[in-house]
Structure 1
Amino acid sequence: MRKVFLGIVIAFVLGITGLVLLYTGYIRFNYPDRDEFPVRGIDISHHQGKIRWHELKAELIDFVIIKATEGGDYKDPLFDENWKNSRESGYKTGAYHFYRLCKGGEEQAANFIASVPNEAESLPPTIDLEFGGNCDSGKSRVQIIEEIKVCLGKLEGHFGKTPIIYVTREFYKEYIEGDFLRYPIWIRDIYRQPTLEPNREWLIWQFANRGHLKGIDTYVDLNVLNKENSLFFYKRRIIEE
């Protein structure tokens, strides 16, 4: 009886320890193979605070995608600083807009365009589509899709690059699947390597949301590029060698 009780206690402690390590990002569900996914990147915002870019250089990171704007009038307070430092540190750099469902597509595109430099060597603009932290639009599915397309069209017209769609699995199933077929997909899946229906390739996979990297004091999102699309980016460390 005592051995059974001891076994239960040990199992409980190990279970709690595992949950804590998982929650704090010291263990995770995904460990993408570096040979299969050699091109790595992060996405950041003011939530990461002041990044020590000289320390981040020790990490094998190739690209950085930075939050620029949200909705019709919000600009991330650290965007300009992050953009400048990322570019000067030699990373392939891009920006993203958190799309608010209760705002119009045209005004949101205008906010992003007014905030982000139009540089030939930067990554295409990205719009972040997810339900978490979003607002109730009161619009139909058709209206939401049309507004998103307006936003994408305005961004493409200004930057001259096909925008990337960052999307959660839930939002993909609800609004993106079977549509927006010419737009590259950046998919969030922190539990498994993603597959997209119907037989669709993804460009970027956000595989962890509680990463730990030198130079960043908070959690940071970790991403890999689909090897089939590796020419979409250059590899910073190959250029430096």
Structure 2
Amino acid sequence: MNDPAHSRPKARPKSRLGCGILIAPLIVLAGLGALGSKAWGPSRADYPVQGIDVSHHQGAINWPQLPGQGVDFAYIKATEGADFTDPAFAANWQAAGAAGVKRGAYHFFTLCRPGAEQAAHFIATVPVEPGVLAPAVDLEFLGNCTQRLKPTDVQGELTAFLTAVEAHYGQQAVLYLTGEFDEAYDISARFDRPLWLRSLVFEPRFGARPWTIWQASNFRRVEGINGRVDWNAMRGPATPQ
């Protein structure tokens, strides 16, 4: 307001554009540099609590090796849809707890089955235990069925899922979201829950409120896990104590 456009020297807008042209590639290069680093993660000074999310795709995990590598928490896949149980869930759940890793369970929400049926499956699979992280629900298109429902239908089925799960576990669920799913179904604006947002390398710029968990990488390597693993930062009231 104090520097209106019409009062600037004519060369000023051009120089600012030039800076923008230079800065944009630098940002891209910084991102590419992070992608090339198997050990990259968000700054510990800014986000001291960090962890992983896993499923049977990681194979056998040597959980006692993880705390010493900065794994403060782990979300473990439990269920998908109304009838799939992750075959590694029980082993991962027990071993993570024994290793002292703060743990939570998550459910992959499919668009092909009623929310109430999915909630019943999750409840039958994940035990109620004190001191664990809030249950999480994975909401994304990748790996989902090809059916695309109306936003009101998705919101209705998710409401049914959350109502049952939250009543059973006595905690608000965490909503894992990609930008595409949130945009398509207006989830973060419609459901006032902690957000777990996926945005590789760069902090999320979507969602109706600040994130509680940020999935920052899907290429982290840690000893005790074969191959890549998702890496996350956590902040706010969901931070494990």
Whether 1:179 aligns to 2:185 is no
Relative to structure 1, the CA distance from residue 56 to residue 27 in structure 2 (aligned partners, 3 Å threshold; closer, same or farther) is same
Whether 1:147 aligns to 2:157 is yes
The runs of 5 or more residues in structure 1 that have no matched partner are 1-18, 236-241
Alignment of 1:1-241 (within 5 A): 26-27=36-37, 31-137=41-147, 139-175=149-185, 176-181=187-192, 183-198=193-208, 200-226=209-235, 229=236, 231-235=237-241
Question: What is the TM-score normalised by the length of structure 1?
Answer: 0.81
Larger radius of gyration: 2
Instruction: Indicate if the aligned counterparts of 2:217 and 2:230 stay in contact, CA closer than 8 A.
Output: yes
**Separation of aligned partners in 2, 1:89 and 1:127:** 24
How far the C-alpha of 1:25 sits from its partner, in A, is 5.4
Instruction: Indicate if the aligned counterparts of 1:41 and 1:62 stay in contact, CA closer than 8 A.
Output: yes
- Larger mean Cα displacement after TM superposition, 41-50 or 167-176: 167-176
Question: What is the TM-score normalised by the length of structure 2?
Answer: 0.81
Residue matched to 1:3: none
Relative to structure 1, the CA distance from residue 192 to residue 215 in structure 2 (aligned partners, 3 Å threshold; closer, same or farther) is same
Number of residue-to-residue matches in the alignment: 210
Relative to structure 1, the CA distance from residue 91 to residue 131 in structure 2 (aligned partners, 3 Å threshold; closer, same or farther) is same
- Partner SS for 1:215: coil
Cα deviation 1:101-158 (Å, max 9, x = unaligned): 0111000000100000111211111110000010033532211111011101110010
Instruction: Indicate if the aligned counterparts of 1:25 and 1:212 stay in contact, CA closer than 8 A.
Output: no
Provide runs of 4+ in structure 1 moved above 6 Å: none
What fraction of aligned residue pairs are identical, expressed as a percent? 42
How far the C-alpha of 1:216 sits from its partner, in A, is 0.3
How far the C-alpha of 1:177 sits from its partner, in A, is 4.0
CA RMSD of superposed structures (Å):
2.2
Higher relative contact order (CA 8 A, sep 6+): 1
Relative to structure 1, the CA distance from residue 23 to residue 104 in structure 2 (aligned partners, 3 Å threshold; closer, same or farther) is farther
Cα deviation 1:151-206 (Å, max 9, x = unaligned): 0111001000000001111111122142102x1000000041113344x1110000
Cα deviation 1:49-98 (Å, max 9, x = unaligned): 00112322321111011000000000000100000000111111100000
Instruction: Indicate if the aligned counterparts of 2:197 and 2:215 stay in contact, CA closer than 8 A.
Output: yes
The runs of 5 or more residues in structure 2 that have no matched partner are 1-28
Instruction: Indicate if the aligned counterparts of 1:24 and 1:210 stay in contact, CA closer than 8 A.
Output: no
